[in-house]
Structure 1
Amino acid sequence: MARTCLVVDDSRVVRKVARRILESNGVAVIEADDGQAALNACREQLPDCVLLDWNMPVMDGLAFLRALRQEFGPDNPTVVFCTTENDFDHIETAMLNGAQEYIMKPFDEDILTGKLAQVGLL
């Protein structure tokens, strides 16, 4: 069965780029445009991995991550933050709240597939 990745970003362009890269690497993609929609998607079908934006309307990435970990535990699914927020405080906060990895926008296929290989998705 194919691995699944939930791509959570309020940018349709970012979701489309991530989808193209992931699907070309054999990963099934689910999309959500904010944290609340992502949490609902996880309740329907828990993905293997979440590619998570930080700044979104309704529920931001950090609030989603905290809710996800509270509801589903500390390890699953794997969460990779994907954001323009690149200062150490943001990275540390993400990791302390249960993210496994962190990548910067803009990303390309090599960056994304490299990180996903590190966390065991590819």
Structure 2
Amino acid sequence: MKSCLVVDDSKVIRKVARHILETMNFEVREAGDGREALDSCLASPPDVVLLDWNMPVMSGMDFLRALGDSGVTQRPKVVFCTTENGMAHIRAAIEAGADEYVMKPFDRETLESKLQIVGIA
């Protein structure tokens, strides 16, 4: 079974993403900020991380950089999931190591297509 770590400071977004991912047969873990997510990835890397941009403690971009610097053996695919839709944001996310980008709000079809693009679905 594929695994996904949903990283978002919103419980509602985590719940919606969990529901969608579980219908796609993913094992789902959650983190409320980037620091919690980094600890989770270092303990047991998921196949993919669904990552929010704006969070307290550690932002999505800071998490992405820290993950890259961590030397984690199996680097998960990272799909940024955010309301930030400017090309500069998208470019910065990809340059920092994100594999794909999905806009909030998203549905199962959109998320599934992004996961297929990164080779996970």
* Interval containing the TM-score (normalised by the shorter chain): over 0.9
CA distance in 2, matches of 1:79, 1:72: 15
CA distance in 2, matches of 1:60, 1:92: 16
The answer for the alignment partner of 2:68 in structure 1 is 69
CA distance in 2, matches of 1:4, 1:90: 26
Q: Normalization by structure 2: what TM-score?
A: 0.96
Letter in structure 2 aligned against 1:32: A
The answer for the alignment partner of 1:87 in structure 2 is 86
Q: After TM superposition, what 4+ stretches of structure 1 lie above 4 angstroms from structure 2? A: none
How many percent identity over aligned positions?
Answer: 57
Structure 1 residue 45 and structure 2 residue 44: aligned?
yes
Letter in structure 1 aligned against 2:98: A
Deviations 1:63-106 (A, max 9, x none): 00000011136x82100000000001110000001000001001
The answer for the alignment partner of 1:7 in structure 2 is 6
Structure 1 residue 114 and structure 2 residue 107: aligned?
no
CA 1:21–1:59: 2 relative to 1, 3 Å: same
User: Number of residue pairs matched?
Assistant: 121
Letter in structure 1 aligned against 2:112: T
Deviation at 1:120, TM superposition (A): 1.2
Letter in structure 1 aligned against 2:4: C
Q: List alignment gaps of at least 5 residues for structure 1.
A: none
Deviations 1:21-74 (A, max 9, x none): 10111110010000000001011110010000000000000000000011136x
Letter in structure 2 aligned against 1:77: P
Letter in structure 2 aligned against 1:63: D
